[in-house]
Amino acid sequence: PTIQFVQHDGRTDNVDASIGASLMKAAVAAGVPGILAECGGQAMCATCHVHVRSDADALPPVTEDEDEMLDCATSPRVSSSRLSCQLPVTEEFDGMIVYVPEEEL
């Protein structure tokens, strides 16, 4: 599936993601800026915070760990906020638009 990552400055990366790998891994492998993933995907750092535009059905529900970390994210949490490391890519992600918030550091 192809996923579009959009930066706050308008830069757009179209990433060909592998099914089963996390959205975070796909972004990091493709060199998408702003996804630091300091904890390596453990839902412990919130530096992989993104805003996902998608119908909610394609996404797994927010777990308790993810919920707590999203509250600690550097950029403000919004209703579409997710930790990209907690989102395993499925076929349904094709065409998804993911916004990388500013101030991820």
Residues that bind ligand FES (CB under 6 A): 24, 37-39, 41-48, 69, 83, 85
Q: What is the DSSP string of 14-57?
A: EEEPPTTSBHHHHHHHTT-TT---TTSSSSSS-TTEEEEES-GG
10/70 with CB nearer ligand FES: 70
* Shortest Å, Cβ 102 to ligand FES: 18
In sequence order, the β-bridge partners of residue 83 are 49
Residues 6+ apart with CB under 8 A from 4: 12, 13, 14, 15, 95, 96, 97, 98
Q: How many helices (H) and strands (E) does the chain have?
A: 2, 5
85/96 with CB nearer ligand FES: 85
10/43 with CB nearer ligand FES: 43
* Shortest Å, Cβ 24 to ligand FES: 5
47/96 with CB nearer ligand FES: 47
* Shortest Å, Cβ 6 to ligand FES: 19
